[in-house]
Each structure stands twice: as C-alpha cells, then as structure tokens.
Amino acid sequence: MSVRRCRRWRRAHGPARGRVSPSTLAGFACARQLAYAAGMDYAPPDTPLAVLHADHELLVVDKPAGLLSVPGKGAHLADCLIERLRGPFPEVLLVHRLDRDTSGVMVFALTPHAQRHLGLQFEKRRIGKRYVARVAGTPAEDAGRIELPLIVDWPNRPLQKVCHDTGRAAVTDWKVLRRDGDETRMQLTPLTGRSHQLRVHMLALGHPILGDPFYATGAARDHPRMMLHAETLQLRHPDGGRTQRFRAPCPF
C-alpha cells in the first residue's frame, strides 16, 4: 500500500480497537511506514566511530546501519554521522551519502580541495562502489545488468520509482554470491548513483532487499536491519591522484 493510501486509511479508520481485521493490520503497516519516513522511530545506534583511514585530505569511515549520514529535519533527527565526526575532525566536509539503513564505507573530505576533487569523481562516475545485499528469493540467472530509469515518487516521497518517460538513467550490475534457501546473497555494483537505486532495482528484479522498510513487504521486510552494505569504495586520492581502495567487512 502506498503512503498516500496509508494516509487515506488512517483518516477513514482512525486508531483501531478490539478485534484486529486484515485491513487493520495493513493499516498498522502503513502507519509504521509513515512513522519511518517522518523519522518518528529514529533510534540511532550508540556505537563508537569506526575510522578506516585518515590523512591530511581524506577521512574514510564505516557507517553503521540505522544512523543518518547528515541531519534530517527536526531536532529529533540531529544525530548523524557527520555531526559525530565533527568532534575529532572539526574540518570534516560532506562528499556523498548512504541511506540511513545502509551500512558501510563512506568517504569525507578534510579540505575544500579534497571535497571538490572527490565531488568531481562522483559526478563523472570515476568512483568504484561495490555492495553486498541479501535479497528475497533466488534469481534464475547468476548475473545480469539492470537498466531502469528512476524518479522520485512525488505523492509518496521519499520513495523512488521506475519511470521510462521522465526518469533519470540508472544502471546496476548484479551477481549471485550464494543461494541459501529462499534468499540470495548478491554483489551489487551501481554504475550510476540515483537515490534508492539498488533498492528499487532489486525490487524491479523481483527480489527486494531483506529488511527494506520502504520496498520490502511481509516476511521480506521482517528483519532486524536492511541487508545492504557498502563493502568497498575505490577512488583517486586528491593529493597526487593515486588509486586507493577501502573496504569494510560485511556485518551480515
């Protein structure tokens, strides 16, 4: 059910009392999705910073799942990775983001020069990114490429959707690492960097990422976290241009 339909349901039905019907259960699921989108259930993990690399230009960290990359709207969404980094690294500058429930490698700049240099690498798609995901079901093929344009689903934002008319080009390579019963461990390589790209592409493939609070449903959604992890990031160092590759081991 879409967020817009959820709002209609809540206006029509209000809080449930007594016996719980299937439609009421659907409404509860909608309410959870709305609460998530608004950050009402935001409970960031109280874990120490995991610094993978730091020098005079770069700061590379392993972001935990459940922590925003940058502040959201409202005081209850102020706690985030970049604010936690400002204590030991007051000069830290944002370069890119990971979704709240995605864990893994993030790079920050420590100088304006590094921020510009890294920003251009992301813009020109010269950054190498590789993710690990656990998805629902088992793909028939062992590998493939998804080329589906994406656009924000405005009535249900921040959700994204496939749109062949006005969507922006989005490309993801995928590879099966291991099939395990009714789920599959996959390696995902985004060749573009659209919002929720891997999540929507896996949904379009018919294998949503386990634990995804927006795009998974039923048993696939019922996991302690979203099973998506940014495992490696490869870039050219802003000082000298040497290639460097950083890795954060997958926690699931």
Q: Tell me the pLDDT tens digit for each residue of 50-82.
A: 999 999 999 999 999 999 999 999 999 999 999
pLDDT at 54: 98
Q: Which residues participate in catalysis according to the annotation?
A: 99
pLDDT at 40: 73
* CA distances from residue 96 to 10, 195, 222 in whole angstroms, order as listed: 36, 11, 29
DSSP conformation class of 215 = T
> What residue segments make up the domains of the chain, in order of their start?
3-38, 51-126, 130-229
pLDDT of 21 > 70? The answer is no
pLDDT at 31: 52
- How far is CA 47 from its chain centroid? 19
Q: Which residue has 């989108």 as its token pair?
A: 37
pLDDT of 30 > 60? The answer is no
Considering only residues 183 and 10, tell me which one the structure prediction assigns the higher pLDDT.
183
pLDDT at 15: 39
Specify the CATH class of 130-229 in words. alpha beta
pLDDT at 18: 34
Considering only residues 3 and 149, tell me which one the structure prediction assigns the higher pLDDT.
149
Q: What is the mean predicted confidence (pLDDT) over 173-197? A: 98
CATH 3.20.20.140 is held by the domain 51-126: no
- % of the chain surpassing 90 pLDDT: 84
Give the model confidence (pLDDT) of 132-153 as tens digits.
Answer: 999 999 999 999 999 999 999 9
Mean pLDDT of the chain: 90
